[in-house]
Amino acid sequence: MKRFFRVYKILFLMNLSVLTAHRGAFINHLISGTVWGIFSFIVMILLTYNVRSIYSWSKQDILLLNGILGIILGLFNTFFQANFDNFPNLVNKGKLDSFLLKPMDAQVLLGIWHTKVVSLSRALIGFIFIFYICIHYQISISWTGVLLSIPVVILGIGLYYSIWLFVTTLTIWFDRATNIVELLHSLQGIMRIPPVAFRELNLVLFLVVLPLTIVAATPVGLFLGRFDFGGLALLTTVSFVCLLLSRKFWLLALRSYTSASS
Amino acid sequence: MRYFRIFLIHLHRVIENRSRSIVWTLLALFNPLIYLCYWLAVYKSSGSMIGGWSLSEVTSYYLLLSVAGSFLIAHIDESVAIEDIYEGGLVKYVIRPFSYFWDLFFGELSWRIFQGLIGIGILFIIGISFQLLISFVSSPLHIFMTFISFLLAYTLSFLFKMILGFSAFWLTEFRGIQSSAEIILLIFAGFIVPLQFLPTQIKEISFLLPFAYMVYFPILAIQGRLEYVELLGVLGMQILWIGFFACVYRLMWNRGIKLFTGVGQ
Amino acid sequence: MPIISVDHLSKHYQVHKKEPGFIGSLKSLVARKYETVKAVDDISFSIEEGEVIGFIGPNGAGKTTTLKCLSGLLYPTKGKLSVMDFTPFDRKHPFLRQISLVMGQKNQLWWDLPAMDTFLLNKEIYQIPTKRFSDVVDDLSVRLSVQDILHVPVRKLSLGQRMKMELIAALLHSPKVLFLDEPTIGLDVVMQKTIREFLKEYNEAYNATIILTSHYMGDVEALCKRVVVINFGHILYDGLLSDLVKEHAPYKIIKVIFSEVVEEKKLNEYGETKSYVFPEWEVRVKHKDANDAASSILKHLPVEDITIENPQIEDVIAGFFVANKKEVK
């Protein structure tokens, strides 16, 4: 564990050095992240403009869901996104080799290689949006629930991580489909909408979208002091199962890795 | 004839990169379908009419949107900015005896047609599986005018994206402007909600901008929701915006090519 | 006990084949045809500790694939591999701490940062004690004359300097087995010489086992006593480089500079003329006849200068491939 933190500390500092070496790119990423963060809330405001509720979810609940999602995505983008975005390129150009030959778990090393500190702006916007929603709609939140939602948010991030790992691992077989990361970005739309919206789908499709729908939806209830033990149990189970399965899938895929020639 | 050849060569390439093509098609399909699930739930839980649209009209809109995105929106800006301008790939076009514009136009068209056809196939399967009905325009004149509006919509989006790509002649970081343009397009082309659902002032602004004529109005046309006069008005606005963008394109090309240094080639 | 043991190793790939033309493209959309390419096919060999082996073969012969199987990057289709008693593909950490794979065109240094930053990262990943790390960095940077540029961002270094830094990064943990894939590719002749000398010194100082692939016969000649010649995934020769030369180039080249014009037909009695453009003449003679031929030439022809040389290794190897050409099945 100590070794992991030592390696992570060095990588974090190296990433900071790279960031500060290119000021223009830093400002560009900061603006881009902020703009997209704000845009995601504009989308929800537009979608809920003519809407009062979806079944048991009120307009405020839906907006709060998106605020929490903003925090989750901000944190995920900071710690993992750049690594997943780069993964198809690593496979396509045979650059995965140097990760596989280091005496450290390649999945872990790949996961922590890049840290994009500027993406914390998106998490910050999420916080601001939640604050605004609470004041505008006079929502009272449960502080116990907020504290309890921290581990739940971490579970949600773990689940989202495993989904990304599943899909990007596919590029080991389909190395030309480097645009698969764009597909996953677009699936973020599923996470913005309450899970009840998908109950009209048939069972198979519902089970496919279920992991994404519960990433951000589960902490919402906790925020508002509504303790849904069933939802928590579901998120915990699905997270652990997906993390385990994605790990197995990754190890299986490595047997088919062909290491593109230089 | 040579542009038809170019079109075929690009079509070869599209088919060769079938996994990429399928992913791009799915990308264009996903968001509208996700929003459709949202609206289905909204309608079923709260009411029969929202913003003056019924459930079947909204369903039809998003299903058509999922295919229209593949057919009508060009994705040429990034390759123009990065591969051609930043990385100097433009060199190989300017020394050839044919037009850079038309080469890219027909090349991009092959991608749109291929992905659009895949999209139609997927839409057909979804429509049958979920017994969803899409209303289509039926009269021959309407069909013809709708087809013209689709062609003009593609041309409009292609010109817009080329202009966006040409910003790389002056900017060292293209992605910032690309992100901003993408956001504007998503909102004002009707990718998030039908423009009818927007707050009144924003709706009126959107009808003046070119983006509504890239996707929103062609979809209304194919749904048969536009009368002949309205359709003529749409065609007119498309032609006006194409004319404007063509002038901007020419200006940017003439100025930008003088700054181009072919670094990396 | 060999440090590396390869037993009937095969590595096959599935490659898609498309018929030409538009119809071929449409067909491949629906039903793709795949062909099995045997990159490595049933090869066996073993290597003792401290040996420096050259793997030679044309492009696509299977050299890099073999190296990647030995380092654990690729999962073999068939066969058994053992490197320091480990199965490479298991990629156990104790195994990875003792090997290094350097590929000429691939790099691990961070582009925007000084090489030292990557070294410090590798120090933590390989758990190298601080004192040993400093000693190794000092030693290697002096040997490669890069002490002054350790703190310069990699993007500002020349190709040769970057290659030296890549080597240091690969050797920080003092690996016992070093796999080098085209380490001097793209470097100028001076830099190639520097790298070769360094590798030789490293092998002698640390008794490291080195497996090297290269298209530059200068690398192989300078470093390797033993070579493995591979083509179409098969081993064609495994033995001493000197024996390969003796066996497949049983001739010498005599180069003569004439002081007067000599008729070409008069020259044929001395051997096989390789080229004759007055005043220079190159003739091929059998090994055992070389001295007699040279004396006779000096006695009977107007010679200004004469030298006797061994054939170029490149020519020998090229000739060897032609003689052992195998069809792809």
Task: Please tell me the distance in Å from B260's CA to the nearest CA on chain C.
Answer: 24
Q: Report pLDDT for A67.
A: 93
0.80 cut: is pTM over it? yes
Cα–Cα distance between A145 and A152 in angstroms, integer? Answer: 10
Q: Which two tokens stand for residue C164?
A: 């030296």
Q: Kindly tell me the burial class for residue B156, based on how many C-beta atoms sit within 10 Å of its own C-beta (0-12, 13-18, 19 or more).
A: buried
Round to whole Å and give the CA distance between B6 and C77. 42
How many pairs of residues across A and B have Cβ atoms under 8 Å apart?
A: 100
Q: How far is C3 from chain B (nearest CA, A)?
A: 43
pLDDT tens string, chain A, 262 residues long: the values are 888 999 999 999 999 998 888 777 788 888 888 888 899 899 999 999 988 888 889 999 999 999 999 999 999 999 999 999 999 888 888 889 999 999 999 999 999 999 999 999 999 999 999 999 999 988 888 888 888 889 999 999 999 999 999 999 998 988 776 777 888 888 888 899 998 888 777 777 777 788 888 888 888 888 888 778 888 899 999 999 999 999 999 999 998 888 866 4
Query: CA–CA separation, C260 vs C243, rounded Å?
Result: 39
- Containing C54, the helix (H) or strand (E) segment is strand C52-56
Which of C75, C101, C121 is closest, CB to CB, to A101?
C101
Contacting residues of C for A255, CB less than 8 Å apart = 75, 89
d(CA C49, CA C83): 10
CB contact under 8 A, A50 and B197: yes
Token pair of B224 as six digits: 């048969």
Residue B59 CA to residue B61 CA, distance in Å, equals 5
Structural domain boundaries, residue A103: 2-255
Q: Taking CB atoms and an 8 Å limit, are C22 and B18 in contact across chains? A: no
* Better-predicted residue by pLDDT, B261 or C35: C35
Q: What are phi and psi of C120, to 5 degrees?
A: -65, -35
Asked if the C-beta of A45 comes within 8 angstroms of chain B's C-beta atoms, the answer is no
- Chain A, residues 214-243, CB within 8 A of chain C, namely none
| In a domain? residue A64 | yes
- Region C166-195: mean pLDDT is 89
Q: Taking CB atoms and an 8 Å cutoff, what residues of chain B touch C26?
A: 15
Query: Taking a C-beta distance cutoff of 8 angstroms, is the pair A95, A89 a contact?
Result: yes
How far does B97 lie from chain A, in Å, by closest CA? 32
Nearest chain C Cα distance for residue A174, angstroms: 13
> What residues pair up with C36 in beta bridges, in sequence order?
C14
Burial class (CB in 10 A: 0-12, 13-18, 19+), C309: exposed
Counting the structural domains of chain A, the total is 1
Orientation of helix B175-188 relative to helix A23-47, angle to 10°: 10
Question: How far A2 CA sits from the closest chain B CA (Å)?
Answer: 39
The continuous run of DSSP H or E covering C229 comes out as strand C226-231
CB contact, 8 Å: A1 with chain C?
A: no
The bridge status of strand C33-47 relative to strand C4-17 is: antiparallel
Angle of CA points A105, A108, A109, to nearest 5°? 80
Q: Hey, what are C132's tokens? A: 């040993």
Is A221 inside any structural domain? yes
Sign of CA dihedral B187, B188, B194, B200: positive
Rounded Cα–Cα distance for residues B195 and B215 (Å): 11
Three-state DSSP class for residue C81: strand
- Cβ contact (<8 Å) for C22 and B16? no
Cβ atoms of C77 and C12 closer than 8 Å: yes
Low-confidence ranges of chain B (pLDDT < 50): none
The domain of B64 spans 2-256
Chain A residues with beta carbon closer than 8 angstroms to that of C182: 262
Which of B36, B126, B129, B173 is the mutation pick for testing A, counting most A CBs within 10 A?
B173
Q: Annotate C164-184 with DSSP letters as a single string.
A: HHHHHHHHTT--SEEEEESTT
Find chains touching chain C: ≥3 CB pairs under 8 Å: A, B
Residue entry with tokens 């082996």: C53
Q: Considering only CB atoms, which chain C residues are within 8 Å of B12?
A: 22, 25
Contact yes or no for C65/A94 (Cβ under 8 A)? no
Cα(C239)–Cα(C229) distance, integer angstroms? 9
B26 touches chain A (CB under 8 A): yes
Nearest CA in chain C to B18: C29
**A49 part of contact set with chain B, CB < 8 Å:** yes
Residue contact C121–A14, C-beta within 8 A: yes
Closest C-alpha to C52, from C184, C169, C177: C177
Could you tell me if the ipTM is greater than 0.85? yes
The pLDDT, as a whole number, for residue C195 is 87
Question: Per-residue DSSP letters for A44-98?
Answer: HHHHTTT--EETTEEHHHHHHHHHHHHHHHHHHIIIIIHHHHHHHHHHHTTTTHH
Residue reference for tokens 């998503």:
B186
The three-point CA angle C191-C171-C231 to 5° equals 70
Tell me what pLDDT residue C186 has: 78
pLDDT value at C85 more than 90: yes
Asked if C259 and C295 touch (Cβ cutoff 8 Å), the reply is no
Looking at CA atoms only, how far is residue C66 from chain B in angstroms? Answer: 30
CA triple A27-A184-A249, angle to 5 deg: 120
Whole-number pLDDT of residue A83: 95
| Contact assessment for residue B82 and residue B90, using Cβ atoms and an 8 Å cutoff | no
pLDDT in tens, C263-313: 888 888 888 888 899 899 999 888 778 888 889 999 999 999 999 887 776
Q: Does the residue B209 lie in any domain?
A: yes
Cα A33 to Cα A183, B176, B191, B232, C159, distances in angstroms = 18, 10, 21, 40, 35
For residue B101, give how far its alpha carbon lies from the nearest alpha carbon of chain A (Å): 25
Using a 10 angstrom Cβ sphere, with 0-12 exposed, 13-18 middle and 19 or more buried, the burial of residue C90 is: exposed
The answer, for B15 touching chain C at a CB cutoff of 8 Å, is yes
Axis crossing angle, helix B55-72 with helix B216-223, rounded to the nearest 10: 120
pLDDT of residue C175: 93
For C42-68, b/e burial (b = at least 16 CB within 10 A) is: ebebebeeebbbbbbbeeebbbbbbbb
Which residue from A3, A14, A256 is facing C117, i.e. has the nearest CB? A14
Alpha helices in chain C (DSSP H): 21-30, 63-71, 93-96, 115-125, 130-143, 159-171, 189-206, 217-223, 241-248, 264-267, 290-300, 313-323
Burial B49-62 (b: 16+ CB within 10 A, else e): ebeebebebbbbbb
Q: Are A37 and A70 in contact, with CB atoms under 8 Å apart?
A: yes
Instruction: Report the b/e string of A158-175 with b at 16+ CB within 10 A.
Output: bbbbbbbbbbbbbbbeeb
B264 in a domain, yes or no?
no
Rg of chain B (C-alpha set): 19
Q: Please tell me the distance in Å from C318's CA to the nearest CA on chain A.
A: 24
Q: Which chains touch B (3 or more CB pairs under 8 A)?
A: A, C
Residue at B228 is within a domain: yes
Whether C18 and B8 lie within 8 Å, measured CB to CB: no
CA distance C283 to C266: 12
Say if CB C183 and CB C163 are below 8 A apart. yes
- pLDDT at position B11 is 79
A97, A107, A176: best to mutate for the C interface, most C CBs within 10 A:
A97
B69 within domain boundaries:
yes
**Could A101 and C110 be called an inter-chain contact, meaning their C-beta atoms sit closer than 8 Å?**
no
Q: What is the pLDDT of residues C151-175, one digit of tens each?
A: 999 989 988 899 899 999 999 999 9
Is A11 at the interface with chain C, CB within 8 A? yes
CB A96 within 8 A of CB A259: yes
Looking at CA atoms only, how far is residue B19 from chain C in angstroms?
A: 10
- The domain tally of chain B equals 1
Q: Which residues of B touch A47 (CB under 8 A)?
A: 35, 38, 192-193
**Share of residues in chain C with pLDDT > 70 (%):** 93
Angle at B90 (CA atoms; ends A25, B73), nearest 5 degrees: 75
Token digits for A94? 């045979």
Q: Which residues contact B95 (CB under 8 A, 6 or more apart)?
A: none
B51 close to A (CB below 8 A): yes
Q: Tell me whether residues B41 and A196 touch, CB distance under 8 A.
A: yes
B263 belongs to a structural domain: no
Output the pLDDT for position C274. Answer: 85
Chain C interface, best mutation among A9, A10, A176, by max C CB count within 10 A: A10
Residue B83 φ/ψ, nearest 5 degrees: -70, -40
The token duo for B208 is: 């003046």
From chain C, the residues in CB contact with A259 under 8 A are 68, 73-74
Q: Which two tokens stand for residue C50?
A: 């401290």
* Interchain pair B38, A55: CB under 8 A: no
Q: How far apart are CA A166 and CA A146, in angstroms?
A: 30
pLDDT digits (tens, 9 = 90+) for C104-147: 777 889 998 999 999 999 999 999 999 999 999 999 999 888 99
At C215 the pLDDT is 78
Q: Give residue C31's pLDDT.
A: 67
- What is the pLDDT confidence band of residue C327, given thresholds at 50, 70 and 90? very low
For residue A98, give how far its alpha carbon lies from the nearest alpha carbon of chain C (Å): 7
Q: B25, B30, B43: best mutation site toward chain A, by most A Cβ within 10 Å?
A: B30
Q: How far apart are CA A243 and CA A238, in angstroms?
A: 8
Listed in sequence order, the residues at least 6 apart from C118 whose beta carbon sits closer than 8 Å to its beta carbon are C108, C109, C110, C154, C165, C169
